[in-house]
Amino acid sequence: MARGAFAITKGRFFGWVAAFVVATLLLGPVVAVFVHADSINDELTGEWATVRFTLVQAILSAFLSVALAIPVARALARRRFVGRGVLITLLGAPFILPVIVAVLGLLAVFGRGGVLNSALGWAGVEPISIYGLQGVVLAHVFFNLPLATRIILQGWQGIPGERFRLAASLDMAPRDVFRTLEWPMLWSVLPGAAMVIFALCLSSFAVALTLGGGPRATTIELAIYQAFRFDFDLGRAAMLALLQLVLAGGAAALALWVAVPMGFGAGLDRVVRRWESDGATVRVLDGGVIVLAALFLILPLTMVVLSGLAGLAKMPAAVYSAAGVSVLIALMSTCVTMVLALGLAQRAEIWGYLGLAISPMVVGTGLFLLINPVADPMALALPVIVMVNALMALPFSVRVLGPELRAIETDFGRLADALGMAGWARMRWLYLPRLRRPMGFSAGLAAALSMGDLGVVTLFAATDWATLPLQMYRLMGAYRMEAAAGAGLLLLALSLLLFWFFDRGGRVDVDA
């Protein structure tokens, strides 16, 4: 089967138009940033602390996420228990969970008045602080530990069961099984997992905005925002955006180079008998690891629900209007994402991954520089946010739709050519009926990601206009934590509802 983009002779024009649109919308702002930054003093002495913190938090987050995921994935790979499938499904939840909602849950558990510090105070121990480097890393581990676990679990499930049976027949000790079977797999999987997580953490904005922000805990993305909103120093913002482009682009290139294939569905329910781990001690250790991982994921979400229910009645009217704006943006950006993804998957799939190398804040900076001389950027906030959200979700949609389109062409392409199917007829009768399930999943993912976005909206939103994540952040900044908790519960519910609506819609009348 062909890899990468493939030539569908009847869909070239649509594919190249989509590629041109994506390249223009992503590379145009980059060029604007480069031109603006090239005209300023290139003295970077004052920014090295920001660059250093950005790299340190990304390295620590990637290392801890992968290191902690190894025992969790190992335990899940060799144990069967009630609720195992639900737990594995839950491992995908943080990816569509709005960042600001997760931060609120982490504050409820690890914050100064949270569950952990309350327990420490009862024991006479000094409270811990969630703000600064430790808070940023903790939040990133919360988001990326499940991702690392899923990647590593795929590696474990890829080891043939016959190898473990042979190891048992040879009476190999656990350390020998690890050395001969498990370590070679980990050696091939871990670098890719670590680089993917490092690239994601490098461009993180909302986590640093809420849990960092001090002079010693500022990432490049956050520094760009501060240069815009507080100083309106476009030259410094452009210089920082150029730095972020170099770092994020390099990290994304390395991640694509060393990343392992991630098929997040097949084989996750198959448990191979592991005779070397039948001992009671190993069973207890595996059980403890699974319980701790589940608590780490479930407890913050539970606190969001409990505190959110109590705060629903205290939400101001602005929350509901912000919710309407977020839903509108999510629906519009999802439509744009799906149209572009279908076009790119037909002809120019590689262009869909360009968004991995360019952070939303860099795109937002470039768009602001392009719009500002000719129009009021705040007046164009809605279309700009829709387009940026669509571009940021595009790599994931192309990743889902590309292999499916290749399979359809392999199976039915020659027949469609023989029947003269082209253009809309080919799309209507060949592609769309067979793409309903992946399209539903992709649309749900794009809608959920857009609902929870707290990035470029911070650059373009006026004081009297906000999305739901931004309104929630403003409530937190005003120390209206109960109202923020209610808004967080509403945001979580809407994000999950949109994901379910699209994903379920793609499965209706489709054979499993």
Q: pLDDT tens, 213-235?
A: 666 778 888 888 888 777 777 77
Count of residues in the chain = 512
* Segment 85-97 mean pLDDT: 77
Query: Does a structural domain hold residue 48?
Result: no
Query: Which residues make Cβ contacts (< 8 Å) with residue 162, sequence separation at least 6?
Result: none
**One domain for residues 106 and 163:** yes
My answer on whether 320 and 416 are in the same domain is yes
Q: Identify the band that residue 140 occupies on the pLDDT scale cut at 50, 70 and 90.
A: very high
| Contact call for residues 308 and 489 (beta carbons, < 8 A) | yes
CATH number, position 341: 1.10.3720.10
Are residues 342 and 283 part of one domain? no
Query: Pick from 261, 279, 305: which residue ends a domain?
Result: 305
Structure tokens belonging to residue 67: 């290191």
> Biggest alpha carbon distance in the chain?
79
Tokens coding 95 = 């990816």
In a domain, 417, yes or no: yes
Count of beta carbons in the 10 Å neighbourhood of residue 116: 16
Token look-up 């359809």 returns: 408
CA separation for the pair 221, 130 (Å, rounded): 20
Residue 4 banded pLDDT, cuts 50, 70, 90? very low
Please report how the helices 481-507 and 436-451 are oriented relative to each other, as an axis angle in degrees rounded to 10: 170
Same domain, 149 and 205: yes
* pLDDT (0 to 100) of residue 278: 65
Residue 476 lies in a domain: yes
Provide the pLDDT for residue 498: 92
Within-domain flag for 47: no
The more confident residue out of 275 and 261 is 275
Does residue 30 sit in the same domain as residue 169? Answer: no
Instruction: State residue 49's pLDDT score.
Output: 82
- Domain co-membership, 151 together with 300: yes
3-state secondary structure of 503: helix
* CB atoms closer than 10 angstroms to residue 88: 17
Same domain, 259 and 360: no
- 438 and 459 within one domain: yes
Distance CA(287)–CA(84), nearest Å, equals 12
* Residue 318 lies in domain: 1-42+314-512
Specify if 154 maps to a domain: yes
Token output for 68: 């902690």
Q: Are residues 125 and 60 in the same domain?
A: yes
State yes or no: pLDDT of 494 exceeds 90: yes
Q: How confident is the model at residue 511 (pLDDT cuts 50, 70, 90)?
A: very low
Q: Do 371 and 455 sit in the same domain of this protein? A: yes
pLDDT confidence band for 34 (50 / 70 / 90): confident
pLDDT of the residue at 275: 54
Measured between alpha carbons, how far is 484 from 314 in angstroms, rounded to an integer?
9
Entry pTM: 0.80
**Which of these three, 275, 305, 335, is where a domain ends?**
305
Q: Verify that 386 and 250 share a domain, yes or no.
A: no
Tell me if 222 sits within 8 A of 208, measured CB to CB. Answer: yes
pLDDT at 128 > cutoff 60: yes
pLDDT at residue 258 is higher than 70: no
Count the alpha carbons within 13 Å of 49 in the hemisphere toward its beta carbon. Answer: 9
Q: Token pair for residue 258?
A: 């060393």
pLDDT at 36 over 50: yes
Residue 215: the pLDDT is 67
Number of domains making up the chain:
2
In 471-481, which positions are buried (b, 16+ CB within 10 angstroms) versus exposed (e)? bbbbbbeeebb
Q: Report the alpha-carbon distance of residue 178 to residue 186 in Å, rounded.
A: 10
- 438 lies in a domain? yes
Shared domain for 250 and 375, answered yes or no, is no
The answer to whether position 353 is within a domain reads: yes
Tokens of 17: 């138009």
Of 262, 287, 305, the residue at which a domain comes to its end is: 305
If one compares 149 and 78, the residue with the highest pLDDT of the two is: 149
First to last CA, the chain: 24
